[in-house]
Homo-oligomer: A and B are copies of this chain.
Amino acid sequence: MSSKLPPLSSLRVFEAAARYCSFTRASEELGMTQAAVSYQIKILEERVGTPLFLRRPRQVSLTETGERLAPVVSEAFELLRGAFAVAEDASQGLLSITTVNTFAANFLAERIGRFQFKYEDLAVRLDTSPGIIDFAREEFDLAIRAGRGNWPGLETHLLVPAEFSPMLSPELAASIGGIKQPSDLLKLPFIDPSDPWWKIWFDAMDTSSDELKCKPRSRMGTQTLEAKAAEAGQGVAILTPAFYRDSLNRGRLIQPFERVCHDGFGYWLVYPKARRNVPKIRKFRDWILLEIKEHYEREEIAITERRETDAIVY
């Protein structure tokens, strides 16, 4: 199918040497010594079976064969150069992120616009899917996943620790005269009584929760629906407060107890270690870590404010 190609390294040298008609000049462009150029040309000439350059006194010139070869080699290299320049650009121009739904809905969706505004030449593809992701197997630059952050070979940044605390609508709380102590919650319906987080939280509050039977695994990632149900006053949910600051501030949900628990899980930004310095990856990483930082700074303030308000309400 294909006659064997000459050594490719010698071709690159030939291309440059032919352009300049000078081994010395070519060696400068290629960042090597003149001796190396001379050597490579010799290799190529031996391979082709005929001289490619005529050694004139103070310059070399192409032989007939060299003259025919040079433009084709140049063209081929131009093709490659073009293709790779585009490929590198293109690969830098699209940032594809896969994220678990909870994080997308409660944090990323409302902020990603700012990222796109800041980096206008960077298109963002946002994919929402659960489960783990194998970067060797799927075309994503970044992933946001829930877990403990122990993924080998991947760079990880904790975005939001999966803290949790019971939440409910103010109306539901008022229906039983307010929530004064943890056991009050047990008078109300639970939106997902099987969530293991309940036990952890009640244990931390030294309150028995035997009547709830927990599932073995937490179901992080489905908080969005539970939150909607809680807002609608259908019961008490155990949620990650950081994701619902807005609802709390607007009074659509209340978090009756400051106490948050957490089980070591969290939402992580992950990507292959080897790609940590790819520009678009760096851009997103730096941006989101700053957003997170600011978010928590504002949350500090919000909590203090609510505490004061709550003191009035209850």
Is A72 touching B81 in the complex (CB atoms < 8 A)?
no
In chain A, positions 69-83 with a C-beta closer than 8 Å to chain B are: 69, 72-73, 75-77, 79-83
- Does A36 reach chain B (CB closer than 8 Å)? no
Interface residue SS majority, chain A: helix
Question: Given A12-B8, A64-B139, A76-B79, are A84 and B56 neighbors across the interface (CB < 8 Å)?
Answer: no
The 8 Å CB contact of A81, one of B5, B46, B51, B87, is: B5
Report how far A80 CA is from B44 CA in the complex, Å: 13
Question: Given A8-B8, A9-B8, A86-B68, are A3 and B81 neighbors across the interface (CB < 8 Å)?
Answer: yes
- Does A176 reach chain B (CB closer than 8 Å)? no
Report how far A73 CA is from B86 CA in the complex, Å: 13
Is A80 touching B84 in the complex (CB atoms < 8 A)?
no
Chain B: minimal CB distance from A89 (Å):
10
Question: Given A63-B139, A79-B79, A90-B68, are A84 and B51 neighbors across the interface (CB < 8 Å)?
Answer: no
The 8 Å CB contact of A51, one of B54, B72, B90, B136, is: B136
Is A72 touching B68 in the complex (CB atoms < 8 A)?
no
Question: Given A12-B5, A54-B136, A84-B5, are A274 and B72 neighbors across the interface (CB < 8 Å)?
Answer: no
A11: chain B residues at CB < 8 Å are 8, 80
Report how far A32 CA is from B65 CA in the complex, Å: 31
Look across to chain B and name the residue whose beta carbon is closest to the beta carbon of A277.
B49
Look across to chain B and name the residue whose beta carbon is closest to the beta carbon of A275.
B49
Nearest first, the 4 closest Cβ-Cβ pairs linking A and B are: A8-B8, A50-B91, A72-B83, A76-B76
Chain A interfacial positions (CB closer than 8 Å to B): 2-3, 5-6, 8-9, 11-12, 46, 48-51, 54-56, 63-65, 68-69, 72-73, 75-77, 79-88, 90-92, 135-139, 274-275, 278
